[in-house]
Amino acid sequence: MSIVKFEPETRRVQLTGGATLIVSLPKEWTRQVDLKPGDEVLVIPQPDLSLLVVPKKMVKAPLLESSISVNQDLSNIDHVERVLLAHYLSGYDIFKLNFDITTLDLKRQVKDIVRRKLTGVEIIEEGRNSLVIQNLVNVPDINIRDILVKLVKTVVGMIDDLRTPIENGDKAIATDIVERDNEVDKFYWLLNRQLKRILISKHALSLSGLQDPRSIIEYAIINKSLERAADHAVKIAREVLNLGDKYVLLMPQEIRQRFSELLSKDSMIMNNVGKAMIEKPDVKEINYIIDAVKYEIRSAVDSLDTNLTNYNISTQAAASARLILDSIYRIAEYASDVGEALLNLSIEQISL
């Protein structure tokens, strides 16, 4: 997606018809956008009192296509995934992947990546050694806050459900939590794509509902923080799965109960962050959330970590317990980061 750069030009405002002010458009710009006499343009007032002029025929932008050659230089599925996601985030709508004889076996895995990680993206054509993938989601249809609210609810659900395997080692629920991370990834990549799109297009910004372009940074922080919190929920679930049937035997009930209590506090903090996202952020409430993480959760995690030596547990159990404790704290910390970003958003709105 190339961005044409133009030098600023000065235009004199003229009076016509006795009351109407007019200004001419730069010739090179009209040529680049193929604007002809009689064409219509949208004139969109901006929060800073400037005007955005968009040719009406450009409101529905043409689909951008990319071609990806999956050859011997790109024979690792992790590398293919990164390249595909990079094209998706850059705003491409159609992805044409061509495989050679050395990478043909990766086609099935690419289809799985599309299914698990990309919202609104479908395989529209498949050949023996090719895939054509298309994004079917229209950027103006995406509401940033709606995505974030869904993301928060998903993360809160993961944290809440963690308490069951933490208390009794339920492997089915732990596995389900790990799989739910795919839903978080879908929201995360979708919002990343949206934020990048509105970063380079004032028209997309005006359609997004955001009043202040500075808020893009804060929403990116919120998005990443929620994705990382989900990763730590998965990390805890995987630890329970890794220990398997030995988990309950290795971890005394009192420790498991303390883990569960801390996760309950994590859930409450993250849920409060979600409420602050829906409602007008309350500075007092956000500061309370941040303080709870900084003092209450940190102190409780440190205390249990220090007291692990008082329990008759193996070295393996102690290592697992510390890993779980670290992730419990990280979840709360990321919720705190979301709170700080929301606080910044509220201040930016006031300063408009």
Residues 245 and 339 in one domain: yes
Residues 145 and 255 in one domain: yes
Backbone angles phi, psi at 264, to 5 degrees: -65, -40
Is there a domain that residue 21 lies in? yes
Tokens of 326: 């670290």
Q: Is the pTM of this model over 0.85?
A: no
Could you tell me where the beta strands, DSSP code E, fall in 188-327? none
C-beta atoms surrounding 108 within 10 Å:
9
pLDDT digits (tens, 9 = 90+) for 276-309: 888 776 788 888 888 888 889 999 999 999 999 8
Q: Residue 31 is part of which domain span?
A: 14-58
Cβ proximity of 109 and 152 under 8 Å? no
Cβ proximity of 209 and 141 under 8 Å? no
Distance between CA atoms of 219 and 271, rounded to whole angstroms? Answer: 17
Is there a domain that residue 284 lies in? yes
Residues 172 and 245 in one domain: yes
Residues 119 and 149 in one domain: no
Residues 233 and 204 in one domain: yes
Give percent of the chain with pLDDT exceeding 70.
90
Residues 285 and 227 in one domain: yes
Residues 163 and 48 in one domain: no
pLDDT digits (tens, 9 = 90+) for 64-113: 889 999 988 888 899 999 999 999 988 888 999 999 988 888 999 999 99
3-state secondary structure of 39: coil
Is there a domain that residue 279 lies in? yes
Is there a domain that residue 247 lies in? yes
Cβ proximity of 333 and 291 under 8 Å? no
Residues 212 and 298 in one domain: yes
Residues 170 and 248 in one domain: yes
Is there a domain that residue 1 lies in? no
